[in-house]
């Protein structure tokens, strides 16, 4: 290979490596170089973090150096929001993907993808969609969800039937309690005061009838 051809090859490889940092492509051969530029230290409860480079490179450093904190944050969001809304994490992750689709600047997309790759390097598994939700959780949980909930907010409902309205003339009743999940999840006790349990029947939908 002559010197001119070799020079061209080196230029191509240099550009390719540079682009990998900017376009969200993970290059295992350069992760050590990227991580050498970033660092963190903890003091008095604060995390001091230094990152530098292109968007993907910065994200990679951030994801690697704070992988434990990001994982814990996602786990906390998943727990608290299921407790408050009875909705699984995947529900809000999908909502974030729909709401933010094609609205995130390319630089931020690349940085978030870098964070995902950095966390994977640190042994932590998170998807880009979950990372997107974490970065926009305020918009989703504090604005989108209350508005979406208001559009289809049900109320408590109940019915009681007796006499000619039932097959045997006895009472048939049911009730749906649409209250907050933290309180509602504990509303699973039925007090049979002065009434023998054998006179009650559990229906397939877990309603109770006498």
157: confidence class by pLDDT, cuts 50, 70, 90:
confident
pLDDT of residue 135: 92
155: confidence class by pLDDT, cuts 50, 70, 90:
low
pLDDT of residue 105: 95
Give the 3-state secondary structure of 143-180.
HHHHHHHHHCCCCCEEEEECHHHCCCCCCEEEEECCCC
Q: What is the mean pLDDT of residues 153-175?
A: 79
pLDDT tens-digit readout, 50-95: 899 999 999 999 999 999 999 999 999 999 999 888 899 999 999 9
pLDDT of residue 199: 57
Identify the CA nearest to 126 among candidates 201, 74, 189, 190. Answer: 74
Could you say which of 1.10.439.20, 3.40.50.720, 2.60.40.3140, 3.40.190.10 is the CATH number of the domain covering 3-151?
A: 1.10.439.20
pLDDT of residue 148: 87
Identify the CA nearest to 49 among candidates 130, 118, 137, 135. Answer: 118
Angle at 101 between CA 96 and CA 104, to 5 degrees: 95
Q: What is the mean pLDDT of residues 118-126?
A: 95
CA 106, CA 55: separation in Å to the nearest integer? Answer: 9
Start-end of CATH 1.10.439.20 domains in the chain: 3-151
pLDDT of residue 162: 85
CA 131, CA 137: separation in Å to the nearest integer? Answer: 10
């Amino acid at each position: 290979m002559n010197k001119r051809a070799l020079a061209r090859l080196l230029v191509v490889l240099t550009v390719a490596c540079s682009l990998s940092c900017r376009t969200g492509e993970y290059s295992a051969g350069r992760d050590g170089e990227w991580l050498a530029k970033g660092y963190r230290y903890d003091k008095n409860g604060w995390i001091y973090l230094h990152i530098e480079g292109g968007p993907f490179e910065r994200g990679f450093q951030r994801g690697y150096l704070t992988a434990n904190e990001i994982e814990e944050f996602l786990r906390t969001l998943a727990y608290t929001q299921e407790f408050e809304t009875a909705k699984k994490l995947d529900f809000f992750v999908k909502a974030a993907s729909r709401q933010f689709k094609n609205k995130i600047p390319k630089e931020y997309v690349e940085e978030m993808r870098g964070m995902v790759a950095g966390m994977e390097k640190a042994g932590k598994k998170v998807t880009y969609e979950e990372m997107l939700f974490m970065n926009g959780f305020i918009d989703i949980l504090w604005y989108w969800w209350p508005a979406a909930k208001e559009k289809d907010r049900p109320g408590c409902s109940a019915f009681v039937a007796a006499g000619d309205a039932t097959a045997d003339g006895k009472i048939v009743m049911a009730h749906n309690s649409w209250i907050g999940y933290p309180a509602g999840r504990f509303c699973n006790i039925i007090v049979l005061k002065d009434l023998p349990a054998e006179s009650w029947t559990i229906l397939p939908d877990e309603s109770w009838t006498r």
